Each structure stands twice: as C-alpha cells, then as structure tokens.
A and B are shown apart, each in its own frame.
Chain A
C-alpha cells in the first residue's frame, strides 16, 4: 500500500516558532495531500502537491515533495496557538481517488 507515515508523532513548540512535519510513503503516487484535524472534528484539507511538483506554498504553509526519497514535509511558519491540531498526510496513486493516511503528527503550539 502507499501508506503515509508522519514523523514526529508529537511536536510541541512556542508561538512564533516554525513547525516541520515529515511524511513518508511506500509506492509511487499521483499526489500527496496534507490535512489538519482539530480535536474531535473532521479533517480539513490544507494543500495538495502533485508528483511532478517539488514545492508548493499556501499562506504560512510550505510543502515539499521528494519522490526519489518517497517523502514530503510540511512547514508551518510563525506558528500560532490556533495551529494546535493533528496533521495528516495522505497519498493517492494508480487510477483511483482513494487516500491512504498515516497516523498523524500532533502539533501543540504553546502561547
């Protein structure tokens, strides 16, 4: 399967610092997506990066993709307390739109 695995499992930082989360996957992908989940809520789509892209930005988010290493990273700059959440990567491959998720990184931003 093309399961994503996030690293670290948990990350605690101070407000204003940058947060970096990593994701690895096993097989070739069409794209890789990052989602955020606040406690007890549904997931919210953050950003999608296609397999032929290397970097993508959206506001304070920066995503990189290294297909040779089968890995991606999510950087949140100038973090805020409101960024406290779990972050998941999910990948799709082949001819379907199914997402395979990792177990997520729990980010805590301390005020």
Chain B
C-alpha cells in the first residue's frame, strides 16, 4: 500500500533562517506531488506541484521554492524565512492519471 511521510512534524524557526521540509512517498511510481500551506482557520493554498523529477510548477510567488530530486521525494525550501511563512504545510500525492489526492500528516511551522 502507498504511504506518505513528512518531517519534521513541528518546527520553530527564527526569522531569516533557512527552511527545508521533506516529503517522501512509498508504494507508487511517478506520482504527482503537491505542497500546500494552510494558515490558521483557513483553507488550503496550493504552493507547488510536480508531475516528474525536476519538473516544478509554482502557483504563488513567494519566499519559498520546491525541488524534486527523486521520483518520490519532494522538498520545500526557503533561504530566509519570514513571519508570514508560518503555517501548516501539507504534502500530497496523486496517481499519474487520477484525481484523488492523498495527504501526509503535515508540518506545523512557526516563524518567530
């Protein structure tokens, strides 16, 4: 069966520090991968999605970037965090020709 992992689960970082969040998927090949951010009490905002290794589409201009160095690995990064980067970050995957998305447990990021 397929599983999706995210780490760390929680993170507290000072303003101006770098960020690296990792997401890995097991049990499937060539998934579509997604990064979302959820602000407190708000809906989900799609940040990046990827249909293959090295293929990244950015949905919202911001302080963040994403990379996909391996088929089932998706990384969210920042060189210098802002206070507004605080939130709950969710990674998700879907099959190549499927619409249903499967979400990881999320990372709660607090920028202080």
Contact = CB atoms under 8 A, between A and B. Distances in A.
How large, as a class, is the contact surface on chain A? 20 to 34
A3 B103 CA distance: 19
A45 B104 CA distance: 12
Interface stretch (A11-19, A35-43, A52-60, A72-80): A35-43
Contacts of B98: 97
B43 A43 contact: no
Contacts of A90: 101
Contact of B103 (A40, A43, A92): A43
Given A42-B90, A97-B32, A97-B94, A103 B43 contact: yes
Contacts of A42: 90, 92, 103-106
Q: For chain A, what secondary structure do more than half of its interface residues adopt (helix, strand, loop), or is it mixed? A: strand
B101 A99 contact: yes
A27 interface: no
A98 B106 contact: no
B108 interface: yes
Interface string A84-98: 000010101000011
Contact of A88 (B44, B49, B88): B44
A38 to B, nearest CB: 11
Nearest to A43: B103
Interface string B24-48: 0000000010100000001110100
Nearest to B96: A97
Contacts of B34: 98-99
A30 B44 CA distance: 20
Interface string B84-109: 00001010101000111111111010
Interface of B: 32, 34, 42-44, 46, 49, 59, 88, 90, 92, 94, 98-106, 108
